[in-house]
Chain A
Amino acid sequence: MDNLEGVVARATQGDKEAFAKLYDEYIKKIYNFIYYKTHHKETAEDLTSITFTKAWKNIESFNKGSIQAWLYTIARNTVIDHYRTVKQDKNIDDVWDLSSNTDIAMDADTVLKVEDVKKYLQDIAPIQRDIVIMRVWQDLSYKEIAEITGKSEANCKVIYSRAISKLKLKMPIVVFIAFLFLK
C-alpha cells in the first residue's frame, strides 16, 4: 500500500477509497485474529463485519498511532463483547476461556486442531495469549505486537517472562518456545 500515513489521513476525512485500501490491507489479519479467538467461521465473519463497521463509523476519531493497532483493539473488544453477551460472564474474553463442553458453536476441524495447545494457552492471561497468537500464528513482528497491545517492547518482554515463571513447571518447553518466539 502506498504511503500508509497519507491513506489513513484521507480515510479519517471520510475518503471511502482510502478506507477501502485500509480494508484491503487489514481484512485478512483482522479476520484471522478474530477466527483464532472464536474458532467458528460464521461468528468470525459476523464479528469482522462489526469490527470494520465500527471502524468506518468511527474513523474520524482516529487521530494518531498505529491504524493496525486501532483495528486490532476494536476486534479484540468486539470479541470480548460478543462472548460476554452470549455467555453473560465477565470473565470470558474469547473462545479459549470456554470450557470444553460449551454449547457455543465451533468448527469441528479447528477444535481438533487446537486440542494439543489449548491447555497451555488457557493457562495464561488473555493478553499473553493474544501475543502468542499474533506472534506464532499471525507472524507479526515484536514491534507490531507492542503497537497493538499498547505496550513497549520491553514491557511485553517483562509480561512474557512473568508468564514463563508461572507456567514453566507445567510445560517448560512449550512456554519457553512461546517466549522465544517473542525475542
Chain B
Amino acid sequence: MEKNIKQILKDLYQIDPTLKTKEQDLIKIINKFLSSRPDTKLDNVFVKKLKQEILGEFSSVRYSVWDNILNTMSYNKFSYIRGGALLLLIVAAPLVYFLIFSNKIPSSDIIDFGFEQKISNTKNNAFGTLALGGTNKESADSVVTRSQTGDGSQEFAVSAPIQAMGLGGGGGGIPVATESMMIAPEYMDNYTYKYIGDTLELKDESLKVLKRNKDDGMGKRLASLFGRANFGLFDISKFNNLDVNNISLSEDVEKGYMMYINSKEGMVSISRNWDKWPQVRTFALERQLTINDIPKDDVLISITDKFLDKYGINKSIYGAPEVDKSWNVYYASAEDKSMISAPGQIGVIYPLLLDGKEVYEQYGTRVGLNVFVDIKENIVLSIDGLWTQNYSSSNYDTVTDVGKVVNFAEQGGINNRVYYSPDSKQPTVLNLDTPKVVYMRYYKYENNINEELFIPALMFTIENMPQSRYYGQRAIMVPLIKDMFDTNTLGDDTGLPKPVPMPLIEGGSQAIQDFDTGTTNVEVSL
C-alpha cells in the first residue's frame, strides 16, 4: 500500500503544478500521513482460526488443490508437477491418517515427527550474530516503519543503519531526534522501573542459545508415506523429492475435532471440526457472559487434562497448567463492570519447559501449549502451540556486568515499551523483583527464513503491576547474550537500549527528498 513519496508528489503536481513550490511542506505532510498508519498486528493464526470457526475448516489442501490444478496447469509444464503433487495430497491425506493414526502399520514404520524434546549441541556462535535487528536489509527495513513513527514498543535497541530509515541517508542531516524533542502524549501514563530485588550475581561467561529445527524433515517423511500407495491414475514414483507442506485431517464423527499440520513450521493445531457441530455460533446474538459463567481454575484444568489424555498429547515437556487471567485486567480496570462481558473462551496454558527452564515471550507472557475452553459449554475449543521439539544449541558469550544488567532492566528491558517524558506528569514507579533465568523466544529473520531462537534471559517480574489501566508488559526481559545486550542504536557502550531515530517533521526540522537517489535527508535544527 505504501505509495512512495515521489509518486504522490507527481500525482499532486499533475493536479496543481504550483504545488511544486511547496515541495518541502508537502513532503513533511505526506510523511506524517504515511508514517501515522498504525501497525494493525493482523495475526495469521487469528485469520485461520476465524475461518475455521465460521465455516469449518476448508482444508487448505482441498481448497488450494483445485485452484492450483485448474489455474496453473495451463500455464507451464511445471504446474503439472505441482498440481499432481497437490492432488496427491487430497488422495493421500486419508491414507496418511490411516497409516499414522490408526495403528495399522508395523511399529517399526511409525514415523517420529519430533514431538519428544531433543537438544543437540553445535559449535559456538552457530546461529550467527544475535545483535538486535540483525545486519540484513530486511531487518533494517522492518525497523524503518517503527522508527518513522516513534513506536518504541518493540525494537528500540535495533542498530538500523541511518540510511535505512525509509527517509534515507544522504549527507549533512542529523536524522536523530533527541529525547527532549519527542512528545509524550498527555494522556499516556508514564512509568519508570526500579529494581528492588536481591543483589545479583552473574557467573556464567557463556550460555546456551537454542534454535528450534522447525522443518526437521517432517514434510519429507510424510511424503515418503505416499510412495506406498498405488493411486492408479499416475505413477507416484515419477515425482521427485516430494514434500508435504501441510495437511488437514478431521474426525468424521459428531462433535469431532480436526487437526492442521503445518510441516514447514513443524506445528500442529487442533480445533473443532465445525461441520460436525450443531451450528455455527453467532457471536452477535449470544447472551453476554458474565464473570460468574467462568468455571473455577480446577474445573477448567480438569477439562483440558481430560482432553489431552483422550487424544494422547504428551504433557511431559510442559509444567503445571495455569489458567490465563489476562482478561481480568480489563475487568478490574473497568469503571462500570456491568458493561464488561466475560470472554467466551478461557485459555489454559501448559508452560513449555526447555532444557528445564521456563520459556517466555519478550513481553513476559508464557510460551507453551494453549488449550482453549468454551466456557459456555465447558468443552475444549482448540489447541495451539504443539510444535516439534527438536532443537540445536550453541554457546554464546554473556554479559556479566550486574550494574549494566540492572540498568538495562530499569530502562524497560528489551522492549523499552513506555516512553517517558520528564516534562509530563509524575511517572508511576514499577518495582522490579529479583529476576529468574528463563528462555526468551526471539525471532531472527534472515535470508527469507524466520528462525525461532530461545535466548537465555533474566525475567524481572513487576511487583506492583498497574491495575487502573491495561499494561501490556507483564515482566521486563533482559537478554543475557552479549551480542543482543550490547546492541544500541547510538553506538555508545552503556548497554542500554536507545530509541530508534525518528525523523522530525515539526518545526525545527526539515526533510529533503532526493528523487534521483531515492533518499531523504532529515535536517534537525537544534
Please determine whether chains A and B interact with each other in the same assembly. Answer: yes
Interface residues of A (CB under 8 A from B): 2, 16-17, 19-20, 23-24, 27-28, 31-32, 35-36, 39, 41, 44-46, 48-50, 52-54, 56-57, 86, 100-101, 103, 105, 107-117, 136-139, 173-174, 177-178, 180-181, 183
Whether A53 and B282, one on each chain, are in contact in the complex, defined by CB atoms closer than 8 angstroms, is: yes
- A117 to B38 Cα, complex, angstroms: 11
Whether B25 and A173, one on each chain, are in contact in the complex, defined by CB atoms closer than 8 angstroms, is: yes
**Among B180-188, B317-325, B423-431, the stretch in contact with A:** B180-188
- Judged by a CB distance under 8 angstroms, whether B123 is at the interface is no
Whether B185 and A177, one on each chain, are in contact in the complex, defined by CB atoms closer than 8 angstroms, is: no
Whether B149 and A112, one on each chain, are in contact in the complex, defined by CB atoms closer than 8 angstroms, is: yes
Whether A56 and B55, one on each chain, are in contact in the complex, defined by CB atoms closer than 8 angstroms, is: yes
Question: Which residues of chain B from 55 to 75 have any CB-CB distance to chain A below 8 Å in the complex?
Answer: 55-56, 58, 63, 67, 71
**Among B26-34, B195-203, B482-490, the stretch in contact with A:** B26-34
Which residues of the other chain, B, contact A19 by a CB distance below 8 angstroms?
A: 55
- Judged by a CB distance under 8 angstroms, whether B265 is at the interface is no
- A44 to B39 Cα, complex, angstroms: 12
- Judged by a CB distance under 8 angstroms, whether B334 is at the interface is yes
- A36 to B42 Cα, complex, angstroms: 12
Whether B50 and A48, one on each chain, are in contact in the complex, defined by CB atoms closer than 8 angstroms, is: yes
Whether B29 and A108, one on each chain, are in contact in the complex, defined by CB atoms closer than 8 angstroms, is: no
**Among B150-158, B371-379, B454-462, the stretch in contact with A:** B150-158
Query: Which of A36, A100, A115, A174 is within 8 Å of B40, CB to CB?
Result: A36
- A180 to B33 Cα, complex, angstroms: 13
- Judged by a CB distance under 8 angstroms, whether B116 is at the interface is no
Whether A36 and B71, one on each chain, are in contact in the complex, defined by CB atoms closer than 8 angstroms, is: no
- Judged by a CB distance under 8 angstroms, whether B46 is at the interface is yes
Take A49-B283, A112-B419 as given contacts and tell me if A16 and B55 are in contact as well, using a CB distance cutoff of 8 Å: yes
Whether A54 and B284, one on each chain, are in contact in the complex, defined by CB atoms closer than 8 angstroms, is: yes
9 residue pairs of the A-B complex, CB under 8 angstroms, read: A16-B56, A31-B40, A39-B38, A53-B280, A103-B469, A108-B153, A112-B149, A113-B37, A117-B32
- A95 to B281 Cα, complex, angstroms: 27
Question: Which residues of chain B from 240 to 285 have any CB-CB distance to chain A below 8 Å in the complex?
Answer: 280-284
Whether A32 and B150, one on each chain, are in contact in the complex, defined by CB atoms closer than 8 angstroms, is: no
- Return the chain B residue nearest A173 by Cβ: B29
Which residues of the other chain, A, contact B15 by a CB distance below 8 angstroms?
A: 180, 183
Whether B150 and A113, one on each chain, are in contact in the complex, defined by CB atoms closer than 8 angstroms, is: yes
Taking A31-B42, A103-B333, A178-B33 as known contacts, 5 extra A-B pairs with beta carbons closer than 8 A to each other, sorted by chain A number, are A24-B51, A41-B43, A49-B50, A107-B41, A111-B188
- A180 to B13 Cα, complex, angstroms: 10
Query: Which of B11, B40, B469 is within 8 Å of A32, CB to CB?
Result: B40
Whether A180 and B40, one on each chain, are in contact in the complex, defined by CB atoms closer than 8 angstroms, is: no
- Return the chain B residue nearest A179 by Cβ: B15
Whether B280 and A56, one on each chain, are in contact in the complex, defined by CB atoms closer than 8 angstroms, is: yes
The smallest C-beta distance from A164 to any residue of chain B, in angstroms, reads 13
Query: Which of B8, B39, B283, B418 is within 8 Å of A110, CB to CB?
Result: B39
Whether A117 and B41, one on each chain, are in contact in the complex, defined by CB atoms closer than 8 angstroms, is: no
- A45 to B41 Cα, complex, angstroms: 10
Q: In the complex, how many residues of chain B place their beta carbon closer than 8 angstroms to a beta carbon of chain A?
A: 64
Which residues of the other chain, A, contact B26 by a CB distance below 8 angstroms?
A: 173, 177
Query: Which of A50, A113, A136, A178 is within 8 Å of B38, CB to CB?
Result: A113
Which residues of the other chain, A, contact B335 by a CB distance below 8 angstroms?
A: 103
- Judged by a CB distance under 8 angstroms, whether B3 is at the interface is yes
Whether B417 and A16, one on each chain, are in contact in the complex, defined by CB atoms closer than 8 angstroms, is: no
Q: How many A-B residue pairs have CB under 8 A?
A: 145
Which residues of the other chain, B, contact A138 by a CB distance below 8 angstroms?
A: 1
- Return the chain B residue nearest A171 by Cβ: B29
- Judged by a CB distance under 8 angstroms, whether B433 is at the interface is no
- Judged by a CB distance under 8 angstroms, whether B233 is at the interface is no
- Judged by a CB distance under 8 angstroms, whether B472 is at the interface is yes
The smallest C-beta distance from B30 to any residue of chain A, in angstroms, reads 7
- Judged by a CB distance under 8 angstroms, whether B449 is at the interface is no
Which residues of the other chain, A, contact B42 by a CB distance below 8 angstroms?
A: 28, 31-32, 35
- Judged by a CB distance under 8 angstroms, whether B330 is at the interface is yes
Take A16-B58, A57-B280 as given contacts and tell me if A139 and B185 are in contact as well, using a CB distance cutoff of 8 Å: no
- Judged by a CB distance under 8 angstroms, whether B111 is at the interface is no
Which residues of the other chain, B, contact A114 by a CB distance below 8 angstroms?
A: 36, 38
- Judged by a CB distance under 8 angstroms, whether B12 is at the interface is yes
Query: Which of A24, A52, A103, A117 is within 8 Å of B36, CB to CB?
Result: A117
- A139 to B150 Cα, complex, angstroms: 22
Query: Which of A56, A108, A111 is within 8 Å of B417, CB to CB?
Result: A108
- Judged by a CB distance under 8 angstroms, whether B54 is at the interface is yes
- Judged by a CB distance under 8 angstroms, whether B470 is at the interface is yes
Whether B1 and A113, one on each chain, are in contact in the complex, defined by CB atoms closer than 8 angstroms, is: no
- Judged by a CB distance under 8 angstroms, whether B526 is at the interface is no
The smallest C-beta distance from B253 to any residue of chain A, in angstroms, reads 20
Whether A109 and B39, one on each chain, are in contact in the complex, defined by CB atoms closer than 8 angstroms, is: yes
- A139 to B47 Cα, complex, angstroms: 21
Query: Which of A35, A110, A183 is within 8 Å of B11, CB to CB?
Result: A183
- A132 to B151 Cα, complex, angstroms: 22
Query: Which of B3, B35, B55 is within 8 Å of A20, CB to CB?
Result: B55
- Judged by a CB distance under 8 angstroms, whether B53 is at the interface is yes
Whether A136 and B37, one on each chain, are in contact in the complex, defined by CB atoms closer than 8 angstroms, is: yes
- A24 to B187 Cα, complex, angstroms: 38
Whether B71 and A2, one on each chain, are in contact in the complex, defined by CB atoms closer than 8 angstroms, is: yes
- A8 to B22 Cα, complex, angstroms: 46
- A56 to B32 Cα, complex, angstroms: 38
Which residues of the other chain, B, contact A39 by a CB distance below 8 angstroms?
A: 38
